[in-house]
Amino acid sequence: MPDPYAPVIAYFEDRSLDLLADAPDAAHHTALDRVPGLRELVTALHPEADGEELPAWMELVLHGLAETSRIGRSSLAGRTRFSDMMGSVFSASGDEEGEEG
């Protein structure tokens, strides 16, 4: 059986995704929709989720993948960054100095 998370994980092999705590909902939803297969995965797993719940479930999947070390995650000053696992290991101390959300 193929890994249902593979398209989501593959996205982070050469990209990162920043979710800003104070971003408007529309910007947050747009950022989550950049991850190929994430919306489809959540819709397949939770078909009852409505439009308001869907982004929360999408973010929950990313946090779950980070908790199980399938992707990396770092937090700094109102921002959560999801990225590849190795990239987050190497940048854990610096987190791209000088970059603002």
What is the pTM assigned to this prediction? 0.80
- Indicate the helix (H) or strand (E) that contains 80: strand 79-83
Per-residue pLDDT, 97: 39
The DSSP call for residue 73 is: E
Report the b/e string of 33-69 with b at 16+ CB within 10 A: eebebbbebbeeeeeeeeeeebbebbbebbeebbeee
Q: Is the pLDDT of residue 100 over 50?
A: no
Per-residue pLDDT, 47: 93
Per-residue pLDDT, 101: 38
Give the model confidence (pLDDT) of 38-97 as tens digits. Answer: 999 999 999 998 888 999 999 999 999 999 999 999 988 889 999 987 654 555 444 443
Sequence ranges of the domains in the chain: 6-90
Q: What is the mean predicted confidence (pLDDT) over 17-32?
A: 94
Beta strand residue intervals within the chain, DSSP E: 17-20, 72-76, 79-83
